[in-house]
Amino acid sequence: MASNEQEGLQPGTAAPGGHGEATFPPFDPVNFSAELLWLALSFGALYLLMSRIALPRVHGILQARAHKISADIADANKLRTQAEAASAAHDKLISDAKSEARVLAQETHAKLLTENESRRAQLEAELNAKLAASEAQIAEMKVRAMSNVEAIAGEAATAIVHRITGRPADQEAIARAIAALNA
C-alpha cells in the first residue's frame, strides 16, 4: 500500500499494469445503483420486445401447428374410415362373387349330371333296341338253321335208309323221328 500512496493513487485501486487489490467493476458498490437502473431498463425493454413481438409470433406458430396437426388427424381419420368402408365393400364383393361362383358351379354340375343321365338313358335304350334286334335276328337265324337242319337231317336219314335198305325211306316216319328229337 505504501507504494500506492507514493504514486498518488487512492486506496483500493491498483496501479496501472500492476497487480494490486482491486474490485471487479460490476461488484463495486459505487456503480451498483447505476447498474441496477440499467438492468431494470434492459429487462423492461427485453420484456416488451418479447411480449409484443417474439411471443405472439411463437404463439401464432404453435397455434398454426396445432391446427395443422388437428386437420391432418381429421383427414387421416376420414381416410381411414373411407379405407375401412372400401375394405368392407371389397370383402362383400368377394364374398358375393364366391357365392355366385358356388351357385353357378352347382347349377352347371346338376345340368351336366342331368345331361349325362339323359345321354346314358338314351344310349341304354339304343343298345337295348340293338340287343333286341340282334336277339331277334339270332332267333330267326336259329329257326332258319334249325329248319335247314331238319331238312338236312331228313335228307340224310332218307339217304342212309336208302343206302342201307336199298329202298326209298318213309318220309312220314322220318319226320316223326325228327320231331321227336326236337321236342
C-alpha cell at 130: 340293338
Q: Is residue 142 part of a domain?
A: yes
| Cβ neighbours around 157 below 10 Å, total | 17
- pTM higher than 0.75 for the full model? no
**Where in the sequence is the domain holding 140, given as residue range(s)?**
31-182
C-alpha cell at 129: 333296341
- CB of 168 within 8 A of CB of 162? yes
Q: Is residue 107 part of a domain?
A: yes
Q: Is residue 119 part of a domain?
A: yes
What is the rounded CA–CA span in Å between residue 138 and residue 144? 10
Residue indicated by cell numbers 398454426: 64
Please count the structural domains in the chain: 1
Q: Is residue 8 part of a domain?
A: no
- CB of 20 within 8 A of CB of 4? yes
Q: Is residue 81 part of a domain?
A: yes
Q: Is residue 18 part of a domain?
A: no
Interior angle at CA 164, CA 159 and CA 167, nearest 5: 70
Q: Is residue 65 part of a domain?
A: yes
Q: Is residue 135 part of a domain?
A: yes
What is the model's pLDDT at position 17?
Answer: 53
DSSP readout, the chain? -HHHHHHTPPTT-PPTTS------GGG-TTSHHHHHHHHHHHHHHHHHHIIIIIHHHHHHHHHHHHHHHHHHHHHHHHHHHHHHHHHHHHHHHHHHHHHHHHHHHHHHHHHHHHHHHHHHHHHHHHHHHHHHHHHHHHHHHHHHHHHHHHHHHHHHHHHHHHHHHSS---HHHHHHHHHHHH-
Which residues of the chain fall below pLDDT 70?
1-21, 183
C-alpha cell at 90: 371389397
